[in-house]
Amino acid sequence: MLSAQEKAAILVEALPYIRKFYGKTVVIKYGGHAMVDCGLKKAVLTDVVLMKYVGIHPVIVHGGGPEITAMLQKLGIESRFVGGLRVTDEETMEIVEMVLAGKLNKEIVSLINRIGGKAVGLSGKDACLLQAVKKPGKVYQPDGTVEMVDIGCVGQVKKVNPAIVHTLINEGYIPVVAPVAVGPEGESYNVNADTAAGELAVALGADKLIILTDVEGILEDRENKNSLISVIRADDVPDLIARGIIDGGMIPKVECCTRALYGGVNTTHILDGRVPHSILLEVFTDKGIGTMVVR
């Protein structure tokens, strides 16, 4: 147990960070194991509520891939992926929207409200928040060429209209956004949650973008958990990808961070969402955790 003096020291350490980020917007991409484990779920959302109470403006963009897959399995629909993106026909899109904008979004909102915050759930279709066009899938051929294929109702964000989010923030609410976008003809698009979070962070002029994952961060050696790279520069990302240090599912996350940085977001972070209160450790302590991507 921490002594009273140790607890006071923690609060003192947090003070300059509370001052620094007071009034700033922080976009959090919420996904992975932290959305499944009940203890982690409560820890993450408690962090978010605390941030709001000390004057920071958190905005959540959540994923839900495992829950979508589980629902499709229940309905006897096979999940298929191309280049890491879910092939989403019209029938699958109905399930995606139901799970993301209906079930998961409202579960997150409800838990935040029970913890003591004030949350409002949105999808990208509300007030035309996320506007998208169809995004083709990429199939990498053995000869190194790339074939573009139709993967259905998968969207690429072309425009963000953040007015509704600004309104909610100014009224003291925590916006919770499901990454379902609207198309030119009112159609629904499934958007990668990392991408949606990055685009929204740019549009909001956010100070930070935080992406929760199921890994420690970017490792110099994936076999060595102690080889965490604490800080990388956006300009170094292509070389790290070429060397294989950044690969697989980490590539789109890091690319999302670099796009956000070039779009005006000050700092971006890739954190291990399996660590309880990882957001507070990153934002309010001297050491921080995970990997920070900077310009």
Was 64 annotated as part of a binding site?
Answer: yes
Per-residue burial over 67-85, b = 16 or more CB atoms within 10 Å of its CB, e = otherwise = bbbebbeeeeeeeeebeeb
- In 83-241 the beta strands, taken as DSSP E runs, fall at 85-86, 119-123, 130-134, 137-140, 146-149, 155-160, 174-178, 180-182, 188-190, 208-213, 231-233
Was 172 annotated as part of a binding site?
Answer: no
Was 161 annotated as part of a binding site?
Answer: no
- In 150-290 the beta strands, taken as DSSP E runs, fall at 155-160, 174-178, 180-182, 188-190, 208-213, 231-233, 267-272
CA of 129: how far to CAs of 38, 72, 199, 267, in Å?
29, 27, 11, 23
Residues annotated in the binding site, as ranges? 64-65, 86, 190
Q: Which residues are annotated as a binding site for substrate?
A: 64-65, 86, 190
